[in-house]
Amino acid sequence: MAELKKILEPRKNRIAILIVGTVSILLIVFWQMGALDSFWPGKELLDKEVTEIKKLQGTLQKELNDAAVLKHRRDLFASQSKDYWVPLRDGKAETEVHKAVEQAARLANLKLSSLGDIRNSKINDGLLMMDLSISSTDSMENTARFLSELYRSSPRFYWQRCTIRPDNLREPKNIVLSGNLKFVLVSDEQSAAFLTGGKK
């Protein structure tokens, strides 16, 4: 009893006991009220949080995948810039494309029989498919050169209903070339600026 009195007498010991007692009482009260669940969550709450985190991870991964696909498409689009006719960079298609085709014919020493007007059809809100009819009658060598020059030119031309035949079945002297040349025009200003870096 004397020893207990010695322990309890010093002021520091009394404060320590008071603190321990108060904390113990508070823990008992919180436990009775269920408040300790917020400090020490049970298995059910932990499982719920883990499920929510996995959902967020899945959403984030999907967003990252979508962003990677979009970047790949943008990079591919930019890498094919020269394949498209961009008015901001290349000028008015209705006049400049004729000049490009005529230039290819001159380089190949090919005589064009006809070069039609340019028509367009909508691909989507930012792209137009342009086409013009073309025909020539010339030697096989010059025709092959002309096709090669067109292949190297910009924009990239695509043939539709292309026909190559001899001018005379009995005594062929030249090759008749006829068909429609098609190319893609970028009509959207933002896309055009993206492809050219805003430069003419």
Extents of the domains making up the chain: 2-74, 85-196
Tokens 């190949």 found at: 108
- The pLDDT score that the predictor gives to residue 4 is 46
Average pLDDT of the residues in 52-58: 85
Average pLDDT of the residues in 90-105: 90
Neighbours of 119 (CB within 10 A): 13
Q: Where are the beta strands (DSSP E) in 123-171?
A: 127-138, 158-166
The pTM assigned to this predicted structure is: 0.61
Two structure tokens written together for 44: 């059910």
| Residues 6 or more apart whose Cβ sits within 8 Å of residue 117 | 94, 132
User: Lowest-confidence range among 19-23, 84-88, 125-129?
Assistant: 19-23
- The pLDDT score that the predictor gives to residue 139 is 92
Cα(135)–Cα(112) distance, integer angstroms = 6
Residue 27 pLDDT class (50, 70, 90 cuts): low
Helices (runs of H) and strands (runs of E) counted in the chain: 7, 5
Q: To the nearest 10°, the Cα dihedral for 168, 169, 174, 176?
A: 80
List, in sequence order, every residue forming a beta bridge with 134; answer none if it has no partner.
115, 179
127 φ, ψ to 5°? -130, 140
As a whole number of Å, the end-to-end CA separation of the chain is 100
Cα(200)–Cα(189) distance, integer angstroms = 12
CATH superfamily of 85-196: Ribosomal protein S6/Translation elongation factor EF1B (3.30.70.60)
Q: Is the dihedral of CA 77, 79, 85, 89 positive or negative?
A: positive
State yes or no: pLDDT of 51 exceeds 60. Answer: yes
Please write the tens of the pLDDT for every residue from 29-49. 555 555 445 556 667 777 788
Residue type, 121: S
Closest of 104, 172, 110, 186 to residue 143, by C-alpha: 110
Residue that wins the pLDDT comparison between 40 and 170: 170
Could you tell me what percent of the chain has a pLDDT over 90? 28
Average pLDDT of the chain to the nearest whole number: 80
- The pLDDT score that the predictor gives to residue 161 is 87
Residue 149 pLDDT class (50, 70, 90 cuts): very high
State yes or no: pLDDT of 142 exceeds 50. Answer: yes
User: Lowest-confidence range among 102-111, 133-142, 162-171?
Assistant: 162-171
Average pLDDT of the residues in 163-188: 89
41 φ, ψ to 5°? -65, 145
